[in-house]
Structure 1
Amino acid sequence: MTAIHKIDDDFYDDSFLLIAMHSTMADYAMAYELNITLKANFKRTRKDFDLFENSVFPCFEWQDTYHDRCWVLVANQSLKRELLANNDLFQNESTYSVPRLVPELKDVDYFLKIEEDITGSSDKIIKNVLTMPKVMAAYEVDSNKLKSKNNLIF
């Protein structure tokens, strides 16, 4: 008699809070403002998040030792440069595309991912984020409804 074994490839514990932010700030300015507003300590990671070939997403991280949580600020868009090899007037011309980390939320500029679901204080965090200059909107996103949820595993 043969045994049938099922492999569960869903090892990732998906308990996290995801806040979407709309802003015109640069990534370093967003991290700086979050540090001031939330009394955090976001620092740029040594290596940016590389999801697709030739496209990296700026990533900032903060290990909150007091609450034992990891906070991650990541941009939703990246600038991808592609070299076109043509035999015409515009030889070796570069084109640029804007890949998205979460394509179904293409208008979102940044995501704030907080490990360990903290549903009770999400409203307080969003309220503080909305007080920041150049932040037009901030709201909680239900990660279970996202098709590209696996893109948020760093």
Structure 2
Amino acid sequence: MEELQVYQVSPLDRSSIYTTEHWTNQLSNGKSVTVLYTLQCDDGVFQFEITDEEKEQLLQKDHIIVNDWNASVEEVEMGWDFEHKIQNEESYTVEEIEEIKQLMYVCNGYDNEDNDFNQDIMEENNWSMNDTIYEIYSKCEFECMS
């Protein structure tokens, strides 16, 4: 078995890191819904514990899903709203989509008319964030830490 090495990994291109949060809730009819909230981030650093062979594979990629590897997030900087969307939106009726939008944008009489993502409204309306996917759309540099 090949020995694992610890690498500090950072993208070569700025603004190439995307984080996608998975927010879930349940509609009044019992149907589950997930909203994907994606941030584009200016910069970041990750820690990968991988073999030399895996490192060579990763050096060839210009798209890495960090969650697919033995890796952790060290730091992600300066994120801004890239997009938010209903996962599998086509599987919901018009009425269900209206309810989803109410749960996303309206809380205690406050209507977020700009339809911006607002974590406080999501949490107040019983949304829970279940997962965050980290992706790098760039070649990366690897600095051996072990």
| TM more than 0.5 | no
TM-score norm. by structure 2 comes to 0.29
More strand as a share of residues? 2
The higher relative CO (CA closer than 8 Å, separation ≥ 6) is in: 2
